[in-house]
Amino acid sequence: MAYTNKINTPHAQFFKETFTRKENAVSFFREYLPKDVASEADWRTLKITKDTFISLRLRERMSDSLYTVRMKGLLVFLYLLFEHQSTVDALMPVRFHDPPV
């Protein structure tokens, strides 16, 4: 399933194309989620949603994807957010806060 929204940056496009492929998303989540969480997911049920939650102000700098997966019979949302930059920023968590404009 290809992501259909227009993306202006090549890095964001790369992440969208990569993580809209189910096998890539499953591999990523299995590797980076805590092992006890990853082991509870029924990865056969993973689906990407069409929604995105990045504000218009931050859309140029970040790429996000929202997935659903079944865990212990419950539908769980997994939200993936990538920030593309070339240097380390100690205040990165603050940059994700998107105050009203």
Q: What are phi and psi of 67, to 5 degrees?
A: -125, 160
CA–CA distance, 59 with 63 (Å, rounded to integer): 7
pLDDT tens for 60-84 read 544 567 888 999 999 998 887 776 6
Q: Say what the pTM is.
A: 0.66
Stated as kind and residue range, the H or E segment containing 67 is strand 62-71
Residue 34: the pLDDT is: 95
Q: What was the pLDDT predicted at 33?
A: 95
C-alpha 84/C-alpha 43 separation (Å) is 27
Pick 52 or 22 by higher pLDDT: 22
Three-class secondary structure of residue 30 per DSSP: helix
Q: What does DSSP say about strands 41-48 and 62-71: parallel, antiparallel, or unpaired?
A: antiparallel
Q: Running DSSP on this structure, what letter comes out for residue 69? A: E
pLDDT band at 27 (very low <50, low <70, confident <90, very high): very high
Mean pLDDT of the chain: 77
CA torsion angle 2 44 27 83 (round to 10): 50
Query: Quick one: pLDDT at residue 3?
Result: 46
